[in-house]
Structure 1
């Protein structure tokens, strides 16, 4: 494997690793700040608002500063904002911190995928799913770390600080091998600034919206669902997220081959159907091991949705990778914007079990859109 591909893989892995570590400890964060489901959903909303506010302009920033620079900037900020999460005295301060955590996540998500598109173009074959597989590997390892730290009752600050220090060392190595795309090279490309999504980009963005809402729901609410609905132990609760991440990893490692065999349209139809069936299993039978199995199936279903969307956007005719990606990620990440508060409100109004039915309906919608898609 060439060093530039390895460096981008490491950035994807770190992103998933850091994200899953703090997501896996959400029940403790919720307990620390005495948040009900609705309040927790609103806190998570600030992450989404931050990401949405930065994504539309990340393509422009990449044009001005290069995807390498924005990738490193986003990765460093994303890491250093995690350890202070349990140290703030007021909930409003947590919301502000989560907003800037979301801003850095938005910068990182678009720019690292722009780097991935550049590497994919060098290889001249589909490899986008393999990068997202490393994100899922990071999620899986991060969820496992979360379970381990929870089992031994390690404090949140010590937990977060230790994983961040390791991650920053890896970012330092990757910084030497990311593709050095220069602002001057991008400046000559037509349409490099901010644009509204085209009709074709909007369609793939809506599919990404459904998929990313599902990913966010599985990540944000899996531990809560395991503890509060499936009545699992605290140590077992993060295993649903670990199973989901493992399935995403397997699906994405095989995703490029599946795209070549089935085509993007057929694969999207299968993906939506599988995700719906997996979540239906978890909702119909809220027993810990069945929930873990159901979340694993959901992971298999969602594995290739975002890679297909990002690869399509990054290779859109007439648009530099960063600009097409910023359009699709903005639409797609709207799922992270609307998902947490909707699920939180529904969970407080009825139950978290009913709230996740909303996500199952989005999987059904994604399947329908797959039938209508022309990609």
Structure 2
């Protein structure tokens, strides 16, 4: 049985998982922010950059499946020690491949390691965050995801500075790897061993039974309904990260600088709403929050697509970011309602969400090549509508205090 934690232990646990979310975002953005330098140092084309991103995406999908196995085998806490090390090692190898060996193959290997390390850490940190949230009996998931967003903003900012000061990719990524590894491993020491996240090796269930549980959630219709909520919102979020700047330039004929500003507006709106989201959910409930935000995201995206002027496009971007902010974290939250199946359900929900996040942008890129970027964005409007219609599935199950609403 899980021991009752003191307030201090609970807060330390929450802070530790906040830190893991932050450093994962930081490490990821550090690599993404140096893509122009990577392209330059390796002397490669956009297509070859695309292949690298594909390797990273494919490895991430492998990492998702691996995370489920790791959680069953070792539990989330011990599992994260391994995956944080893999992620940091990936950053080191990428730096080595880009700057010192100037090897495309080594860079790809490093990205593969990063992808596996990051996505498997991602599933486990969400499993832990869901357990923290249930322990506090308050909606905290959006705040955890806000820390990831803040990590990406800080990572991108550091990347801009490093590029401006002509710091080599390797030195930059190695410094980040040390930071991710140090902060990650120190935080994990504050994470308690909990049966909920399958950490306790002495639990009664055998490994085979745990695997059976893991697979059984894929037969539960609620898993797919929550998946539908997350799918729409993961598309709305992932596509903005990859295509928003391009849509501003190619679709609305603005400069690249304006494109970068638009992406910043999107990220800030998203982060602010993730910080404010928890109290809102605890006031009006998870389902109504998701419905209102689906409308917000849909309206924002339509405004952006049809915008006759730049200010309207920017208002649209802000609404799109705000609206897309909570689908992913609240989907995770809903998946964790039943403590007995929390680890398996959160893993399943995370897998559906990340598949959309990783596969969405390339699919949209392929379509936009045929019909142009702005018309392509209507597909996301459709997915947001689907997400809004599926919102009812996120209703907290009997006995769960998280996301019910009317906390004061």
**When the two structures are superposed, what TM-score results if normalisation uses the length of structure 2?**
0.79
Counterpart for residue 12 of structure 2: 3
- Which among 59, 71, 74 is matched to residue 62 of structure 1? 71
Counterpart for residue 44 of structure 1: 53
8 Å contact from structure 1 (residues 62, 183) kept in 2: no
Tell me how far 1:317 sits from its aligned partner.
5.8
The alignment partner of 1:195 has SS state of helix
Tell me how far 1:195 sits from its aligned partner.
0.4
Say if 1:52 and 1:186 are closer, same or farther in 2 by CA, change over 3 A.
Answer: farther
Separation in structure 2 between the aligned mates of residue 12 and residue 77 of structure 1, nearest angstrom: 16
Matches within 5 A, 1:105-120: 105-120=118-133
- Which among 9, 13, 24 is matched to residue 15 of structure 1? 24
The alignment partner of 1:81 has SS state of helix
Gaps of 5+ in 1: none
8 Å contact from structure 2 (residues 17, 129) kept in 1: yes
Counterpart for residue 405 of structure 2: none
Counterpart for residue 289 of structure 2: 267
Say if 1:132 and 1:26 are closer, same or farther in 2 by CA, change over 3 A.
Answer: same
- Asked which structure has the greater CA Rg, the reply is 2
- Which among 174, 192, 196 is matched to residue 210 of structure 2? 192
The alignment partner of 2:91 has SS state of coil
- Which among 83, 89, 101 is matched to residue 80 of structure 1? 89
Tell me how far 1:34 sits from its aligned partner.
4.0
Tell me how far 1:61 sits from its aligned partner.
1.6
The alignment partner of 2:201 has SS state of helix
- Which among 323, 333, 337 is matched to residue 344 of structure 2? 323
Counterpart for residue 223 of structure 2: 201
Counterpart for residue 179 of structure 2: 166
8 Å contact from structure 1 (residues 41, 344) kept in 2: no
- Aligned-residue Cα RMSD (Å) equals 3.1
Gaps of 5+ in 2: 1-7, 397-408
Say if 1:340 and 1:84 are closer, same or farther in 2 by CA, change over 3 A.
Answer: farther
| Superimposed CA distance per residue, residues 265-317 of structure 1 (whole angstroms, 9 cap, x where no aligned partner) | 22111122212222333333497776555433222112211121111112236
| Superimposed CA distance per residue, residues 198-244 of structure 1 (whole angstroms, 9 cap, x where no aligned partner) | 1111110121122122222222334444565554345x654444333
> Which range moved further: 257-266 or 239-248?
239-248
- Which among 297, 320, 328 is matched to residue 298 of structure 1? 320
- Which among 125, 141, 144 is matched to residue 157 of structure 2? 144
- Which among 374, 378, 388 is matched to residue 367 of structure 1? 388
Counterpart for residue 232 of structure 1: 255
8 Å contact from structure 2 (residues 229, 387) kept in 1: yes
Counterpart for residue 399 of structure 2: none
8 Å contact from structure 2 (residues 93, 107) kept in 1: no
Say if 1:286 and 1:141 are closer, same or farther in 2 by CA, change over 3 A.
Answer: farther
Separation in structure 1 between the aligned mates of residue 93 and residue 248 of structure 2, nearest angstrom: 26
- Which among 14, 33, 40 is matched to residue 24 of structure 1? 33
8 Å contact from structure 1 (residues 48, 333) kept in 2: no
> Which range moved further: 198-207 or 114-123?
114-123
Tell me how far 1:155 sits from its aligned partner.
4.0
Counterpart for residue 71 of structure 1: 80
Say if 1:372 and 1:61 are closer, same or farther in 2 by CA, change over 3 A.
Answer: closer
Tell me: higher relative CO, structure 1 or 2? Use CA pairs within 8 A at least 6 residues apart: 1
Q: How many residues align?
A: 372
